[in-house]
């Protein structure tokens, strides 16, 4: 099963504020799902976001 990250975990990984990650999840910039009322970000969504938003990276 794929790992699911919390907003706080993603905020630490990306070095962004809680609000920024929350808004990214809300507007679909960072695909997420709700599990038991809490927002979770699938590992693949986070990986794709990093790859697609990194200049010159692969």
Q: 17-26: per-residue pLDDT in tens?
A: 999 999 999 9
* pLDDT over 80 at 57, yes or no: no
* pLDDT over 70 at 58, yes or no: no
Q: In Å, how far are 2, 12, 22, 24, 34 from 19, measured between CA atoms?
A: 25, 12, 5, 9, 17
Handedness of CA 16, 37, 3, 45 (dihedral sign): negative
At 1-56, the pLDDT tens digits run: 889 999 999 999 999 999 999 999 999 999 999 999 999 999 999 999 999 988 86
pTM of the model: 0.87
pLDDT at residue number 2: 87
Does domain 4-52 match CATH 3.30.460?
Answer: no
């Amino acid at each position: 099963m794929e790992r699911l990250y919390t907003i706080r975990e993603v905020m630490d990984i990306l070095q962004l504020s809680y609000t920024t990650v929350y808004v990214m999840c809300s507007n679909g910039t960072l695909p997420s799902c709700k599990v038991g009322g809490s927002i979770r970000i699938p590992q693949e969504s986070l990986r794709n976001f990093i790859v697609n938003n990194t200049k010159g990276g692969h």
